[in-house]
Structure 1
Amino acid sequence: MQLWFLMSMNATTETHHGAALQKLIRDDKKAEKILNGVLDDYKTAPISKKEKAMLDYAVKLTKKPASIKKDDLNQLRKYELSDRDILDLNQVVAYFNYVNRTADGLGIELEAEHK
């Protein structure tokens, strides 16, 4: 998994990751296009089918974790994700969900420069 993709996965909840994405890609226009596409509707964003499948999994794991079935994992395997890749994806999504829920639960707000 490319780091820029992992950063964009969390862009909807962590504004400062958008700035990090721009620095990582080193192409402000491309980063903005990807970020806006993911924020607006990742299904129409300028990303690969594989990345869209990964985001489908991330959304499902975030919103309906108990509904994940083997078919969801097999869908990722169709895009040549290994079991290790799927584990990495799962852990990244779970971590971002944990961190964001912890911050929300404690009333933590973004720093002023990131609002």
Structure 2
Amino acid sequence: MTWIQTISFASATGKLKDIYKRVTGPDNNVDNILMAHSLRPHTLEGHMAIYKAVLHHYGNSIPKWMLEVLGVYVSLMNNCTYCVEHHFSGLSRLLKDQGKADQIRSALEEHAPDLALEAKYVAACQYARKLTENPKDMSEYDVRSLKDAGFDDGEVLEINQVVAYFAYANRTVLGLGINTDGDVIGLSPNSSENPDDWSHS
């Protein structure tokens, strides 16, 4: 599951057990990326807080499926199979159209999002690619390009934060050898108005 020791739901006590109860899916399943934090429950809390806020918060205005597209794209560029599979499953569930989801994934794999997405969302993918592959080359022009495509400043922030979050998540996975063994693929926190609702379904 990972290259470091982890504590299972069954073995957890105290604060860790309390956090696990908040993030469990079916049959008390805890995603391996979350269980990897088990020796430092405070970092698990931090991870979940930013994950929920960035990707699954009711205050976001970009459709959740598109935020998942950005997560899949960043994860593909970082060769993070764990995050690709989890978030592609979530994307497919949100779209309710497996053919369209497959088309998007193929386009992202080819670095050709224009083959599957409208121009506005292609611009978001272009921003994600540059920020992932060449962060030192970012300039105000890149933000202006998003605004010219039709995103407002708040939505630019949403895009930036999703790309930044997946840089963190991908490196957590790749740096600790986290795999999907035992995971229920594609679960995510509910998009309730309660930022502390981290339950996975």
Name the TM-score, length of structure 1 as normaliser: 0.87
Aligned position for 1:17 = 87
2:53 counterpart of 1:4:
no
* Aligned AA (2:97): D
Identical pairs, percent: 32
**Relative to structure 1, is the Cα distance of residues 10 and 42 closer, same or farther in structure 2, using a 3 angstrom cutoff?**
farther
Higher helix proportion (structure 1 or 2): 1
Rg comparison, structure with higher value? 2
Unpaired runs of 5+ in structure 1?
A: none
Please give the residue correspondences for 1:1-115 in structure 2 after superposition, counting only pairs within 5 Å: 1-11=62-72, 12=76, 13=80, 14-111=84-181
Unpaired runs of 5+ in structure 2?
A: 1-61, 186-201
1:59-95 deviation line (CA, Å, top 9, x unaligned):
1111111211011111111012111111111011000
SS in 1 for 2:110: helix
Segment drifting more, 90-99 vs 28-37: 28-37
Moved over 6 A (4+): none
Q: Tell me the C-alpha RMSD between the 2 structures.
A: 1.7
Name the TM-score, length of structure 2 as normaliser: 0.52
Q: Which has the higher contact order (CA 8 A, sep 6+)?
A: 2
How far did residue 112 of structure 1 move?
Answer: 6.5
Distance in 1 between the 2:130 and 2:110 partners?
17
Matched residue count: 114
